[in-house]
Each structure stands twice: as C-alpha cells, then as structure tokens.
Amino acid sequence: MRPGPTAAAASLTRRMGPDAIRRRAPMSGPAAGPAIAFVGLGGMGRGLVKNMALKGLAVTATDMRPERVDEAVSFGAVAGSDPVAMAAEADIFGICITTAEAVQDLAIRHGVLDAMRPGAVFLDHTTVSPSHVDLMRQECERRGLRYCEAPMTRTPAHADRGEVNVLFGGDADLLEELRPVFATYAENIFHVGPAGHAIRLKLIHNYIAFANVASFCEGFALAAREGLDMTKVIGIISAAGGKSGMMDLYGELTLKRDFTPHMSLANAQKDVRYYAEWMNEAGLPAFMSRSVEQTYALASIMGHADEGCTAVIKAYEELTGIEARLPEPADTEAAQ
C-alpha cells in the first residue's frame, strides 16, 4: 500500500535532515541562472532535473527514494537537504509528485511556502485539480510568493530527452522569466491563458486520453473473449475512425502484455477523478468520466495500480478468464 500524502511528505522531510551532505557530480561547465530546488524524481521529474543539470542550471533535488537522488547527482544536480531547507535557498521551488493533496501537505502543512523568500516562484508541474491551483495561488500570494501552474503532457521518455510539452497558465511576464528554465526540458511551451487555464486543459487532455485507453482495452478484452484474430484488431481499427494516439502508443504493447508504467494506472485514475470532480463543480453531469474513473478504480482494487494504465484491461480479463494477447511467434508459424 502506498503512503498517504501526509505520510509521504513527512517521510520526505525525515529522510534527509537539515545537516544532509550536499553532493555534486562533475559538470562540463559552471552552473548558472536561478537557484532551483526540485522535489520529485519519478518518471517525469527525473527527466526535468536531468536536463536542467546537464544544461548548466543550478539544481538541488530530492526524492523519497535515495537511489533516485544518487542518479540526479550523476547528472550534475546537488543532493538536497530536507525540502524546507531547500526552499529557503531557492529562487524557484519546483515540484512534480503524485497528487494535489501531497503537494499541499508539503507546501502548506510542512512549511515549504513559509520558508521561501518573498518573490520566489513555486513551480508546480504536478497534475492537480482546478481547486488546488486556486488554493495554492492564494497561499503563495498571501506570503508574497509567485505560484506557477505548469502541468505537462507527453511521457517520461520525452522528459528524458528534454521534449515534454509545458502548459503554462498565468502572467506572460512570469512565463518569459521562466522560459529559459522550461527550454532545458520542453520541446513546446504553450501559454494556455490566465492562471487556472493550464490545469483545466491538461485534465481535459488526460480524461480524453485515459477514456480512450479504457475503451480500447474493453474492446480488446471483448475481441479476445469472442475469439477474434488479435493480429488484425489494431490494424483494422486504426484504418478508420477508431485510430488514436493512445492506441498508437500503447495498443500493441498491451497485446504483447507489456504493462510498464510509463503512465501508471494509479495516476490515470487520479487524473480522471480530478476531472470528474471538476465536472460536478461546474454543474455538469459526469456520467462518462465517473464510469471511466470507476473502471480504473476496479483494476486498482484488483492490484494493478502500479502497472501501466493499460493494465485496466485486466479488470475485464479477470471476468472473462481470457487474456487479450498477440500469439507467440511459434504459434503464428504453426498456424501457417
């Protein structure tokens, strides 16, 4: 079971105390620009820190898992002390962790915002909720800080290559100030609109993407149950209106039983939940999004939360008793 947001934040602050040794790997050139603190070295955060460090920015990073910090040091980052101590020294405090609740625990209840210097930037790359963005902006403004919402699209592989899409919501002057930082890890930097618009568009994007995954996984499971030729399913669907970016990325991998968590099922469920809650707050029915969220929730309850989002297919397979898979090469040769 994963720790809740409060437990996770407390664990992170305990893991590296204020006297922790800072380490830096050799760099090709001197670090320059603002002092950046960064929390969260998972799939996306790892790539952001890697590219900032390799491209010469001064980055201090930490994570709940020490081996991730060690890897960041190998890229040229500094191993941070606890997040509160890091915040006190940072011009920009960046974060990319699991949930809005975890961000609030660390930032508000564990004192990161209180430690930051007036005028510093709290850079939030986490996929959160509209209400979170509103709260964090208010909490930052109350302390003389600047809140930056900058959710991302694309995958950890893109982050590793420095090719994410950054969706920025807020003042154009702040975007221009942060653009050199974003440019170290982003292929595209989109100014979506005022504060709050970036996360709203990100949630719409993620809902459409993860609803698509749930729908093609359901279709694959039914195709397998009914004995269809699984070697033909994706090609025929993709030759017409059923073609999609998510199926292009993950369709064949799903049928090859590769559930590597490039985008975890737990995060898919979380993002769709935030979208459905936003729909309700907007006074709109959330029939479809709640159905999608509950489909992911069922797969999570069945034990697949830490697998890739396409592991949602296993919820159907446990009902049918039949795996949706491509035949092994030996099976194909025998059939010929």
CA–CA distance, 140 with 153 (Å, rounded to integer) = 25
* pLDDT surpassing 80 at residue 2: no
Q: Does residue 242 share a domain with residue 172? A: no
329 band by pLDDT with thresholds 50, 70 and 90: confident
Asked if 22 and 78 sit in the same domain, the reply is: yes
Judgement on whether residues 245 and 322 belong to the same structural domain of the protein? yes
Average pLDDT, integer, range 219-234: 98
**What pLDDT, on a 0 to 100 scale, did the predictor assign at position 188?**
98
Spell out the residues 6+ positions from residue 226 whose beta carbon is closer than 8 angstroms to its own. Answer: none
Mark which of 194, 223, 250 sits at the end of a domain.
194
> Where does the pLDDT of residue 8 fall: very low under 50, low under 70, confident under 90, or very high at 90 and above?
very low
Band of residue 319 on the pLDDT scale cut at 50, 70, 90: very high
How high is the pLDDT of residue 330?
61
**Domain range for 19:** 5-194
Given a cut of 80, whether residue 14 has pLDDT beyond it is: no
**CATH number where 73 lies:** 3.40.50.720
pTM score, whole prediction: 0.87
Which among 197, 200, 202, 226 has a CA at the least distance from the CA of 316? 226
Angle at 103 between CA 81 and CA 309, to 5 degrees: 110
The whole-angstrom separation of Cα 252 and Cα 152 is 25
Q: Which of 171, 194, 217 is the last residue of a domain?
A: 194
80-84, 230-234, 290-294: least confident range: 80-84
| pLDDT for residue 27 | 35
Q: Please say which residue of 138, 165, 194 terminates a domain.
A: 194
**C-alpha–C-alpha distance, residues 34 and 58, integer Å:** 7
**Given this model, what pLDDT does residue 335 score?**
53
Q: Are residues 188 and 226 in the same domain?
A: no
Do residues 11 and 152 both lie within one domain?
yes
* Distance in Å from the first CA to the final CA of the chain: 46
| Bridge pairing between strands 164-169 and 152-153 | antiparallel
pLDDT for 25: 40
Lowest-pLDDT choice from 21-30, 103-112, 132-141, 195-204: 21-30
Q: Distance (Å, rounded) from C-alpha 78 to C-alpha 36?
A: 10
Question: Does 89 lie in the same domain as 184?
Answer: yes
166 in the same domain as 31: yes
| Burial category of 30 from C-beta neighbours within 10 Å (exposed 0-12, middle 13-18, buried 19 and up) | exposed
- 250: domain CATH number is 1.10.1040.10
Which of 202, 232, 243, 256 does the annotation list as catalytic? 202
Residues 156 and 219 in one domain: no
Residues 104 and 188 in one domain: yes
Q: 238 and 165 in one domain?
A: no
Q: In angstroms, rounded to a whole number, what is the distance separating the alpha carbons of residues 143 and 195?
A: 18
**H-run or E-run covering 122:** strand 121-124
Cβ burial of 309 (10 Å; 0-12, 13-18, 19+) is: buried
Q: How many domains does the chain have?
A: 2
pLDDT tens for 251-282 read 999 999 999 999 999 999 999 999 999 999 99
What confidence tens digit (pLDDT) does each residue in 119-128 have? 999 999 999 9
Instruction: Quickly state the pLDDT bin for 72 (edges 50, 70, 90).
Output: very high
Statement to judge: residues 182 and 206 lie in one domain? no
- Asked if 151 and 204 sit in the same domain, the reply is no
Share of the chain above pLDDT 90, in %: 87
Q: How far apart are CA 275 and CA 290, in angstroms?
A: 9
Residues 136-181: tens digit of each pLDDT: 999 999 999 999 999 999 999 999 999 999 999 999 999 999 999 9
To which H or E segment does residue 149 belong? strand 146-149
Structure confidence at residue 13 as a pLDDT band (50, 70, 90): very low
For the question of residue 202 being annotated catalytic, the response is yes
